[in-house]
């Protein structure tokens, strides 16, 4: 089974809220909430991929990212390597450019959202900050 390398963004706004996006129903783990990001393409660094994906998916222009953690997770049908970075400086107003619902949530509200299983360690780490 192929392992998919995914750049994941924990995007904080000035109010210290975190950006979430809802996965389209037809995709793997559809209907669940996630931290925005996407596949790292050949020749890209994680930071470059994340900056590109956030521009394409949620219309924000990120100047830099900082590594937070990495997770390998095996689903029955797919293996993912999540390369998680924080984003604290960006311009533009977040919007779901691919028709996905997006939401800014407070840190302590993360526990109220349904995330893919692979995201559990990310949520736990953020709640411990």
Q: Model pTM greater than 0.85?
A: yes
**Beta strand pairing status for 66-74 and 79-87?**
antiparallel
The encoded tokens of residue 96 equal: 């779901």
d(Cα 17, Cα 5) in Å, to the nearest integer? 26
What are the start-end ranges of the E strands in the chain?
3-11, 18-22, 33-34, 37-39, 61-62, 66-74, 79-87, 90-91, 102-105
* H-only helix segments in 1-129: 46-58, 120-127
User: Cβ–Cβ contacts within 10 Å for residue 77, how many?
Assistant: 7
The encoded tokens of residue 99 equal: 């028709």
pLDDT digits (tens, 9 = 90+) for 84-124: 999 999 999 999 999 999 999 999 999 999 999 999 999 99
pLDDT the model gives residue 76? 87
CA angle 50, 52, 55 (to 5 degrees): 105
Phi/psi for 52 (5° steps) reads: -65, -50
pLDDT the model gives residue 111? 94
pLDDT digits (tens, 9 = 90+) for 11-58: 999 999 999 999 888 877 889 999 999 999 999 999 999 999 999 999
d(Cα 123, Cα 21) in Å, to the nearest integer? 14
pLDDT digits (tens, 9 = 90+) for 79-90: 999 999 999 999
């Amino acid at each position: 089974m192929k392992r998919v390398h995914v750049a994941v963004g924990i995007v904080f706004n000035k109010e210290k809220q975190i950006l979430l996006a809802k996965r389209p129903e037809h995709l793997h783990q559809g209907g669940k909430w996630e931290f925005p990001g996407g596949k790292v393409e050949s020749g890209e660094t994680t930071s470059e991929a994340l900056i590109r994906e956030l521009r394409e998916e949620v219309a924000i222009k990120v100047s830099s990212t900082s590594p937070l953690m990495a997770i390998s997770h095996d689903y029955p049908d797919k293996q993912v390597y999540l390369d998680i970075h924080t984003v604290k400086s960006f311009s533009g107003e977040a919007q779901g450019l691919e028709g996905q619902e997006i939401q800014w949530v407070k840190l302590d509200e993360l526990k109220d959202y349904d995330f893919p299983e692979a995201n559990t360690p990310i949520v736990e780490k953020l709640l411990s900050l």
